[in-house]
Amino acid sequence: WPEEWHPSGKYLFCYIEKAEYVKEKGHKRAPIDAIPGYGAYTDLWLLRTDSAAAWPLTHLPNRYSSGIIHAAISPDGTKFAWSERVRAPKFTNKNLAAGAYVIRVADFTWDTLPKFTNIKTYQPGDVSALNEVESFSPDNKWLLFYSTFESGNIIQTPIYILDLESGGIKKL
Q: Provide the terminal-to-terminal Cα distance of the chain, rounded to the nearest Å.
A: 29
**Distant-in-sequence, close-in-space partners of 26: CB < 8 Å, separation ≥ 6:** none
Per-residue model confidence (pLDDT) at position 97: 87
Alpha-carbon span 92 to 54, nearest angstrom: 39
pLDDT along the chain (172 residues), means of 10: 85 89 75 72 92 94 89 96 93 90 96 95 96 96 96 94 97 96
Alpha-carbon span 4 to 21, nearest angstrom: 26
Per-residue model confidence (pLDDT) at position 12: 95
Between vectors from CA 96 to CA 95 and to CA 98, what angle results, nearest 5°?
Answer: 120
Per-residue model confidence (pLDDT) at position 1: 56
Alpha-carbon span 108 to 102, nearest angstrom: 18
Write down the pTM of the prediction.
Answer: 0.92
**Identity (one letter) of the amino acid at 78?**
T
Per-residue model confidence (pLDDT) at position 37: 67
Per-residue model confidence (pLDDT) at position 19: 84
Per-residue model confidence (pLDDT) at position 36: 64
Per-residue model confidence (pLDDT) at position 140: 96
